[in-house]
Amino acid sequence: MASPMERRRFGRFLVPLTTEYNLRDPEGGQSLSGQCVTRDISLTGAYLFCEPQVPLMPGHVLDLTIFSPLHFLDNHDISHLKATGQVLRLDPPEMPNQQCGVAISFLDGLSFPTLDAI
């Protein structure tokens, strides 16, 4: 049987990137937002580390902004990637006071925002 790593269409990059998420709660209409850090990312999804009490559930759709410093530009400019992703799975913390894991599948892929949107 093939391992999950072998079934992936695209390779994942192990890189910690600050990520902001926005969730519109379909029941209450309230907008929820927070910040996480990627463990890994690919063209089709990401695995995030979030606070243990994060109010996310499988099926939630998030608007994501992923930040990456561009060191070759004197550490002043920031590259922003945008994505819409669906929560596939939440992994509880392995030990107290650790972050939980959130597996995300990108619905439309990754994109760079236009200069007007930054």
- The answer to whether the Cα torsion of 40, 90, 99, 34 is positive or negative is positive
What tokens appear for 26 in the block? Answer: 């379909």
Question: What whole-number distance in Å separates Cα of residue 28 and Cα of residue 34?
Answer: 17
Domains within the chain, CATH numbers bracketed: 4-111 (2.40.10.220)
Predicted pLDDT at 60: 92
Q: Predicted confidence band at 118 (pLDDT cuts at 50, 70, 90)?
A: very low
- pLDDT of the residue at 1: 44
Return the higher-pLDDT residue of 29 and 82. 82
Tens-digit pLDDT profile for residues 76-111: 455 788 999 999 999 988 888 789 999 999 998 888
Q: Is 101 left (phi over 0), alpha (psi -120 to 50) or beta?
A: beta
Residues 31-57, mean pLDDT to the nearest whole number: 91
Q: What is the C-alpha to C-alpha distance for residues 87 and 41, in angstroms, rounded to an integer? A: 14
When pLDDT is averaged across residues 14-43 and rounded to a whole number, the result is 86
Please give the Cα distance from 100 to 87 (Å, whole number): 13
